[in-house]
Amino acid sequence: MKPMIFAALTAGALTASAATAQTNPTVGGAPMMADMTIAQNASNAPTLTTLVSAVQAAGLVDTLASEGPFTVFAPTNTAFSQISDASINALLDPANKGFLTEVLTCHVVAAEAFSSAIAGMIADDGGMHAVPTVGGCTLQAYMDGGEIKLRDENGRIATVTIADVDQSNGVVHVIDRVLLPAGAAG
């Protein structure tokens, strides 16, 4: 039964991908091109500059420019502004590169999942779907008022504010909060 559900969700994601390519949302007013990588498109979005700086500091640009597929939950500059300047500066310090990498990869899933597929997995799992990330975090995805929400291992909740930004190597969902690994304060 699960292989059939996975196949149906994958087919739905592929259908959504084709439809999204025609009407790809903008991020911060910048057009997002479905034929460009996550790294390329993020670099063009004025609302993702802090994320781009963090990805560069962590040495993850090549990863997000690679084949994928990835799903990236991309926190905006406003999401990062909820963290103190001292904490952001400490996070970007080269001495903390390992922790920065862990934080960033807790926003990355090693599969492509458009919002319709995520909503389907949430429904199939009775309202809450575990999302294992590349960074070893497990996010809990659920629906609230028609919006996809993600809860990290610290209870921090992010809302998907722009869904289904199609990329050549996956999909980006813009979120309004930085998610952290278990035990991290912020």
Mean pLDDT confidence for 26-52: 93
pLDDT at 137: 95
Q: What is the pLDDT of residues 99-140, one digit of tens each?
A: 999 999 999 999 999 999 999 999 999 999 999 999 999 999
Residue type, 120: G
**Where residue 27 falls among pLDDT bands split at 50, 70, 90?**
very high
> Sign of the C-alpha dihedral, residues 50, 53, 58, 62?
positive
pLDDT at 22: 55
Q: Does residue 5 carry a pLDDT above 80? A: no
Lowest mean pLDDT across 38-47, 48-57, 64-73, 81-90: 81-90
pLDDT at 91: 86
d(CA 106, CA 137): 5
pLDDT at 106: 96
d(CA 174, CA 163): 6
Q: What is the pLDDT of residues 65-89, one digit of tens each?
A: 999 999 999 999 999 999 888 888 8
pLDDT at 15: 40
pLDDT at 186: 55
Q: Does residue 6 carry a pLDDT above 90? A: no
What pTM was computed for the model? 0.85
Domain ranges within the chain, ordered by starting residue: 2-175
CATH superfamily placement of domain 2-175? FAS1 domain (2.30.180.10)
Of 124, 121, 163, 162, give the one whose Cα is nearest residue 139: 121
Using DSSP bridges, classify how beta strands 157-167 and 170-175 pair: parallel, antiparallel or unpaired: antiparallel
Run of H or E including 150: strand 147-151
Task: Tokens for 93, please give them.
Answer: 């310090």
d(CA 4, CA 80): 39
pLDDT at 185: 60
Residue type, 164: D
Q: Does residue 19 carry a pLDDT above 80? A: no
Count of Cβ atoms closer than 10 Å to residue 22 Cβ: 8
